[in-house]
Amino acid sequence: MPKVKDQAGRLYAAEELSGIKYGEALSLKECQKFVDKIIARKYVIDKYGIQAKRPIVVLDGRGRRKACATFYQGRRAIKLPRWARGRYVILHEVAHHLTDLNGHRAEFASCLLDLVRHFLGQESADALQGAYHLKGVKVVGKNGAVKARCPQSRKDWVAQKKESEKIRKQLQAVESYPDLDKLVGRSA
């Protein structure tokens, strides 16, 4: 697979790698309720100010290949084809509106990560952040755009995986015991 050079490509690759992109399919009415819940959350209003106070309407996106954040009849809108009516895709499109439809820059990636953490949970956010780290997605740091760090939970997981592999190799190196099957109750 060719190396992805642009931020948008790296972000989409990270979404696929994280495994959180696809989930339960919602109806349009449920999608609208979820969007309303997002922009009504105190955390979102405090962090994104006026952008969070403007309503977002969810529209049927049939006939489209991809979901999109757009304007429709002077209002902010999200168009969702049937395959895209999941919570993660909705968060992705809302993040576009919260960051002024300014592409997939570091501000967008950070906003999306915040929304995932608040609405899908820490485990999903860690998966996304770990994927950001592996794919080189830029996020907002203290001094501007920086590469995402690998979250501690992923570092712990990698360390645990290495330890498990080490133990497995040690067990393979041990000679078998002739009466082990009798001991554990297996027939030979």
- Residues 35-62 have pLDDT tens digits of 999 999 998 889 888 777 788 999 998 8
Q: Do 17 and 110 sit in the same domain of this protein?
A: yes
Residue 25 lies inside a defined structural domain of this protein: yes
CB 105 within 8 A of CB 8: no
Q: What's the confidence (pLDDT) of residue 10?
A: 92
In a domain, 16, yes or no: yes
Q: How many domains does the chain have?
A: 2
Low-confidence ranges of the chain (pLDDT < 70): 1-5, 142-143, 153-162, 164, 167-168, 170-188
Q: For tokens 């485990």, what's the residue?
A: 123
Q: Residue 121: which domain range? A: 7-148
| 2 located within any domain | no
Pairing of strands 138-141, 144-147: antiparallel
Asked if 144 and 168 sit in the same domain, the reply is no
- Maximum separation of any 2 CA atoms in the chain, in Å: 78
pLDDT value for 49: 84
pLDDT at 18: 86
Task: Please check whether residue 89 lies inside any domain of the structure.
Answer: yes
